[in-house]
C-alpha cells in the first residue's frame, strides 16, 4: 500500500509492505547487486534523506500499539 498525506510542512509518502519473511526480504534487498535493485536503491536516494542507506537492512520495528490486544481486553 502506498499513501500520500498532506501535512502543513508538505506531503509525506508512506509505503507498507507485507510478506511471509519481511526481515529476510529486507536483508536480501539491502545486499542485492541485481541491476534493477541497484537502480531502484539509487532512485530511492533521490526521495529520502542521505542518512538512509538502502544497502543496509532496516533495523527492527518497535511496536507501540497493539489494536488486537485492546479489542481482546474489551
Q: Tell me the domain boundaries of the chain.
A: 2-73
pTM higher than 0.85, yes or no? no
pLDDT in tens, 18-64: 778 888 888 999 999 999 999 999 999 998 888 889 999 887 767 77
The strand pairing partners of 12, in sequence order, are: 5
Residue 24: all three cell numbers together:
529476510
Burial 45-70 (b: 16+ CB within 10 A, else e): eeeeeeeeebeebeeeeeeeeeeeee
Residue 46: all three cell numbers together:
533521490
What pLDDT shows up at residue 71? 76
Q: Decide the pairing of beta strands 10-15 and 2-7.
A: antiparallel
Query: Sorting pLDDT into bands at 50, 70 and 90, what band is 1?
Result: confident
Amino acid at each position: 500500500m502506498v499513501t500520500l498525506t498532506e501535512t502543513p510542512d508538505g506531503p509525506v509518502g508512506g509505503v507498507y509492505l507485507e510478506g511471509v519473511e519481511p526481515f529476510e526480504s529486507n536483508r536480501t534487498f539491502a545486499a542485492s547487486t541485481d541491476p534493477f535493485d541497484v537502480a531502484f536503491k539509487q532512485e530511492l536516494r533521490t526521495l529520502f534523506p542521505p542518512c538512509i542507506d538502502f544497502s543496509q537492512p532496516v533495523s527492527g520495528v518497535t511496536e507501540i500499539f497493539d489494536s488486537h490486544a485492546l479489542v481482546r481486553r474489551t
